Amino acid sequence: MSTRFPPAREADLKTFSNNFKTKITASPTTFGLTAAQATSYGAADLAFANAFNAVQDPATRSPMAVSEKNDAKATLIAQIRLLAGIVQRFPGTTNAMRIDLDLPTRNPEPTPVPAPSTAPLLEVKGVTARTVRLRLIDPANPTRRGKPAGVTGAAVFSYIGTTPPVSLSDWKFEGNATRTVLDVQFPDSVAPFTLVWLAACWFNPRAQSGPASTPVSTNLGAGLTSLAA
């Protein structure tokens, strides 16, 4: 089939149309069409085929014959666009059926990105007063700064206390991070040198979360110290 749809060359258009007519006439409802639509298309196909054949023979070719062929072609193409559009949108149409009709195929539905199966590793890069700089690490590529494939970002959580809870629902949600290095700011009400915990989980483009990381802890600072880059 021509890469252009409908085919630009009239000979290719005639071949395409004959195949399309034959298939939809034999079983119109298979393609989401009615018998009346198939019959109407058959008439348009026959009119174009006869007009096309007439202009191929020097004995019958004339300006009037060419004009009639052009009119029949325009009618046929309008019918093709109408019925092909119905077939393409019909829920029962598969790519195999489109190929059988010489219609353009559609890309299959993209495979959904699954929820992350691993948790990030966490590294405290530094502390400045009540700001903790955190790095999220792909455990499969610990030396790489990027996120794992299929991961959009990470949900980050904090906890203040001696022993961190098992469930993240008992932690404070600090926000979503799309970068692997981020700062977590604790409020001024938290005393200097307080023990704090941090945890995170990756999420995919559909906001489906993976398992929680192993928590890491650090003590807040008392003053301003430089953060590691």
Q: Is residue 170 part of a domain?
A: yes
* 19-37 pLDDT, tens digit each: 999 999 999 999 999 999 9
Q: Is residue 139 part of a domain?
A: yes
Asked whether residue 14 falls in the same domain as residue 94, the answer is yes
Residues in the chain, pLDDT under 70:
1-3, 108-110, 223-229
Domain end position, chosen among 100, 132, 164 = 100
Instruction: State how far the Cα of 127 lies from the Cα of 132, in Å rounded to an integer.
Output: 5
Asked whether residue 184 falls in the same domain as residue 213, the answer is yes
Asked whether residue 147 falls in the same domain as residue 208, the answer is yes
Asked whether residue 93 falls in the same domain as residue 127, the answer is no
Asked whether residue 144 falls in the same domain as residue 202, the answer is yes
Q: Is residue 116 part of a domain?
A: no
Residue 112: Cβ within 10 Å count: 11
Residue 13: Cβ within 10 Å count: 20
CATH code, domain carrying 204: 2.60.40.10
Reduce the secondary structure of 182-205 to three states and give it as a string: EEEECCCCCCCCCEEEEEEEEECC
Domain end position, chosen among 36, 67, 100 = 100
Q: Is residue 205 part of a domain?
A: yes
Asked whether residue 195 falls in the same domain as residue 126, the answer is yes
Domain that holds residue 160: 121-219
Residue 212 CB-half CA count within 13 A: 17
pTM over 0.75? The answer is no
Residue from 76, 88, 70 nearest 41 by CA: 76
Report pLDDT for 1: 43
Q: Is residue 191 part of a domain?
A: yes
* 91-120 pLDDT, tens digit each: 999 999 999 999 988 776 667 789 999 999
- For the chain, how many structural domains are there in total? 2
Domain end position, chosen among 100, 132, 156 = 100
